[in-house]
Amino acid sequence: MAKDLSTREENYSQWYTDIVTKADLAENSAVRGCMVIKPYGYAIWERMQAELDKMFKDTGHQNAYFPLFIPKSFFSKEASHVEGFAKECAVVTHYRLKNDENGKGIVVDEAAKLEEELIVRPTSETIIWDTYRGWIQSYRDLPLLINQWANVVRWEMRTRLFLRTAEFLWQEGHTAHATREEAVAEAEQMLRVYAEFAESWMAIPVLKGVKSANERFAGAVETYCIEAMMQDGKALQAGTSHFLGQNFAKAFDVQFLSKENKLEHVWATSWGVSTRLMGALVMTHSDDNGLVLPPKLAPIQVVIVPIYRNEEQYRAICDKGLEIKKQLEKLGLRVKLDDRDTQKPGFKFNEWEFKGVPVRLAIGPRDLENGTVEVARRDTLEKEVLHIQDIDQKISHLLDQIQQNLFQKALDFRTANTFKVDSWEEFKIQIEKGGFIEAHWDGTAETEQFIKDETKATIRLIPFDGEAEAGKCVFSGKPSARRVVFARSY
């Protein structure tokens, strides 16, 4: 049915690219590694932003904006942070162009060299902490709870639309607290916010946990994360939240006077999700017929397609369609009446299916006579005929059902592809098949590295809700107190 689309079976990564480009979410740009997010894709991102922003504000955060450029010297102040990002920074060295003396276009004016080079932010900890020094004097200034929506640049070798691009959009929260406990609680709280968003809005089930030292954010004391399973069995980190300890406060000399009149360094967190979530959304729900969107994030939740033979029918059916649209919009639904006279119904059916619209209503002459409408749901591709007077209640209910069904399907898939493994032989076999592996680990970086080198699998997280269970490390045989989750990842 869906022509021009690879199937997941044939070529999973081609299938992903096909959906992103053909559903009009994004395309590659003239700039290597950078994408153009197209209106339909951006509309989904805006819906994500709107809900996340509300969740951040509900938890007491305020938005602000910090510069795109960071003085190079700021980067060197936190040792492990520099080390983590140095290899992928874009650097601004000059501030002026001029006409080439030989008449060959525009060249960099070497006379306009910056005294101090500027880094295009790969993340904003350094510029933000340099700023916070001026904002924080006393415990009365704490906690400081700030978020920013921004673009960042990480010069990646290999890029893929949404999943890894040289420039991407994200939000980064940066908070300052008087105590260690409060900062840890903040990092944990924001991870719960992310998990809630992923599960309730994106219909993506996620595991919550802590990263191993190898996978920790550069400059963090502890990194928390949510991990989702894609349909090819690989893991995708969907959000991270970091407890930064006093690392940045010390590097940037951010101190406050406590109630006891003692000068102390503040405690910090940072947390972020990016346009990568768009990739997660595509890879979690979509099928071989195209994109599948959860109703809560779909820019169009219901599309109405009129079917007609002549001008007279066209007008009568579009009138009815408009009536239904208004009726549904009163319930707060996002509805589109596709009254284009330039495409045939069959074309429209396929197009909206490909674009993942959760519910399609078709109205033709027969329906007009019978007072009915054909309802098709994107997730199961099932169709039924309803009486027009029933659609008010039924459509809202159907959208809820679709939202739940998508979550349940994704959860069932993850459950079916999660395995407890207790021997190294079994581990090597299972990892080839994909999915999450729950195995014991001796807690050493050496073992983790060895497993990665041998199998390309990494520890995705040490689950929060993992039950204590004594066992032996799947690789070294040394004692272990709990299982951790291994997988190959994006």
Partner RNA sequence: CGGGGCAUAGCGCAGCCCGGCUAGCGCACCUGCUUUGGGAGCAGGGGGUCGCAGGUUCGAAUCCUGCUGCCCCGACCA
User: What is the contact surface with RNA in residues (CB under 7 A)?
Assistant: 1-5, 13, 28, 32, 84, 87-88, 154, 156-158, 163-166, 168, 217, 237, 240, 274-276, 289, 307-310, 344-347, 349-351, 353-354, 360, 362-368, 374, 376, 381, 383, 490
Distance in Å, CB of 320 to RNA, minimum: 11
The Cα–Cα gap between 358 and 286 comes to 11
Residue 140 or 383: the one with the smaller Cβ distance to RNA is 383
The Cα–Cα gap between 404 and 201 comes to 10
Distance in Å, CB of 120 to RNA, minimum: 13
- Could you say which DSSP state residue 473 is in? -
3-state helix, strand, coil in the chain (%, to 5): 40, 30, 35
The Cα–Cα gap between 345 and 365 comes to 13
Distance in Å, CB of 216 to RNA, minimum: 9
Distance in Å, CB of 365 to RNA, minimum: 5
Who contacts 449 (Cβ-Cβ below 8 Å, separation ≥6)?
214
CB 137 within 8 A of CB 256: yes
Residue 228 or 473: the one with the smaller Cβ distance to RNA is 228
Residue 81 or 483: the one with the smaller Cβ distance to RNA is 81
SS3 429: helix
Residue 89 or 142: the one with the smaller Cβ distance to RNA is 89
Residue 267 or 349: the one with the smaller Cβ distance to RNA is 349
- Other CB atoms within a 10 A radius of the CB of residue 132 amount to 21
Distance in Å, CB of 394 to RNA, minimum: 16
The Cα–Cα gap between 227 and 460 comes to 7
Residue 312 or 469: the one with the smaller Cβ distance to RNA is 312
The Cα–Cα gap between 222 and 245 comes to 8
Residue 142 or 368: the one with the smaller Cβ distance to RNA is 368
Pick the closest to residue 490 from 293, 278, 218 (CA basis): 278
Q: Give me the DSSP letters along 204-227.
A: ---EEEE--GGGS-TT-SEEEEEE
Distance in Å, CB of 223 to RNA, minimum: 9
**DSSP alpha helix (H) spans, 63-220:** 72-75, 79-85, 125-135, 180-200
Distance in Å, CB of 262 to RNA, minimum: 35
